Structure formats: C-alpha cells, structure tokens
C-alpha cells in the first residue's frame, strides 16, 4: 500500500512519542515492559492503516499487540485511532521489518499476522515478499514453538 504524504503525520507522531516506538531494537527481549500487564504477545508486520490490529486489540484485551509499519503516514493513521481509543494493549512501531531478529528475542512472539502484504509479483522481487523463505526463518526464530502465523 502506498500512501500519499500526509502533512499532519510527522507533527502527530512527534506529539505522541510515548505511543510510538522508533528504535525497536532497544526493546529486544523486553517488549512486555511497554505494556501495563504481561500477556501473550502478537505482532502484525505491515499494519497499513491499522483496522485489523486496532480491532484485535479492542476484541482481545487479554493479549498484547504490536503494530509494525514502515510508512510514516500509515503509522500516523493508526496513531489517530490509538489516541482516540487509548488501548493499553497496543504498541505502535515505526520501523522496517526486514530483520525482525534485531527487534525480538528468540521465542518472544506468541503469534504473527501478515495481512494483505505487497505481493511483489515479479520473480526478480520474490526476496521482498513477506512470505519469502528468509522471512519465514526469521518468523520461526522469534516465535514460540506453539505460536501461530
């Protein structure tokens, strides 16, 4: 998903530094400290505008959720929802999911969501797909043995 640049995105993000993490590598192994309570931890890679992850956080208050998104405009759209709802079990991350092992320790994630990822249909771009074998190995490394993808 490619979003147009939103003039209001950067000021909104800067106004709420407590709700958005921009240096996720510092949280490796300590993600539960970002939440009020220690609960099962779920990650969505490529959260887009946040409809799915926000609904999951509202529906499942007994779980903690992390929304990882690369585009600043998309994160700002999720942030608008988070500011309005103030979900204590949702953490936003502005970052690249290229190497999730830099952000998460082995076996730290209870579940991982990949919804409507960019398909990268050309063969020469297959390494960019979130379902490419190198990404799948990363997911396996950060997820618990009984975790769901």
Q: What is the 3 state secondary structure string of 54-114?
A: HHHHHHCCCCEEEEEECCHHHHHHHHHHHHHHCCCCEEEEECCCCCHHHCCCCCCEEEEEC
pTM reported for the whole predicted model: 0.88
- Predicted confidence (pLDDT) per residue in 11-64, tens digit: 898 899 889 988 889 999 999 999 888 899 999 998 989 999 999 999 999 999
- Predicted confidence (pLDDT) per residue in 99-139, tens digit: 899 999 999 999 999 876 766 678 787 766 666 678 778 88
Cα separation, 20 vs 68, whole angstroms: 10
Cα separation, 15 vs 26, whole angstroms: 21
Q: Which fold has domain 9-148?
A: Rossmann fold (3.40.50)
pLDDT at residue number 127: 65
State the pairing for strand pair 41-45/109-113: parallel
Pair of tokens at residue 35: 């939440």
pLDDT at residue number 97: 79
- Judged against a pLDDT cut of 70, whether residue 69 lies above it is answered with yes
Cα separation, 64 vs 57, whole angstroms: 7
Q: Where are the domains of the chain?
A: 9-148
pLDDT at residue number 66: 96
Which residues are tagged catalytic? 118
Cα separation, 66 vs 48, whole angstroms: 13
Cα separation, 75 vs 134, whole angstroms: 25
């Amino acid at each position: 998903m490619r979003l147009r640049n939103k003039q209001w995105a950067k000021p909104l993000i800067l106004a709420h530094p407590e709700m958005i993490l921009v240096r996720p590598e510092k949280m490796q192994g300590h993600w539960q400290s970002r939440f009020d309570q220690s609960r099962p931890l779920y990650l969505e890679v490529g959260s887009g505008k946040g409809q799915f992850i926000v609904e999951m956080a509202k529906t499942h208050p007994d779980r903690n959720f992390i929304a990882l998104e690369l585009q600043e405009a998309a994160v700002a759209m999720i942030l608008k929802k988070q500011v309005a709802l103030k979900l204590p079990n949702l953490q936003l991350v502005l970052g690249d999911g290229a190497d999730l092992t830099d952000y998460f320790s082995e076996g730290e994630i209870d579940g991982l969501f990949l919804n409507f990822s960019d398909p990268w249909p050309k063969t020469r771009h297959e390494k960019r797909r979130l379902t490419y074998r190198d990404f799948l190995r990363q997911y396996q490394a950060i997820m618990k043995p009984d975790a769901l993808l």
